[in-house]
Amino acid sequence: MIRNQIAGAALLLLLVTCGAPPSSEAGPSMSISFLTRDGCANTPVMRERLDAALAAAGVEAAVIAIDVASLDADDALTGYGTPTVLVGGFDLFGAPTPRPAAPI
């Protein structure tokens, strides 16, 4: 339980420090990409924490779920592990943009 609270607080802090402005009448203030794939065991927990952090920060954002398996093989997004959260095209935790995944 404590570990989940710490992870949620860290995610909230990172969202706020990434410059996420609070929600406004104009609609979502930013777009977030949530990279996942079928069978990713950590996707439900990460998505729950992301939604909770956004709500706690009062940030309204369009969260776009992307199944990396549906992307072209040369798309750099295929090089990220799943789940991954991108804010403004950059990894929420600061990981560098990877090269595309090696072909299977």
The predicted-structure confidence for 37-89, as pLDDT tens digits, reads as follows 999 999 999 999 999 888 888 888 889 999 999 999 889 899 999 999 998 88
Cβ burial, residue 84 (10 Å; 0-12/13-18/19+): buried
**Structural domain contains residue 41:** yes
Q: Considering its fold, how many domains does the chain have in total? A: 1
- Say if residue 1's pLDDT is above 60: no
Residue 98 located in a structural domain = no
Which tens digits make up the pLDDT trace of 81-91?
Answer: 999 999 888 89
62 domain-assigned: yes
Is pTM, for the whole model, over 0.75?
no
User: Does residue 71 sit within a domain?
Assistant: yes
In a domain, 81, yes or no: yes
CATH code at 74? 3.40.30
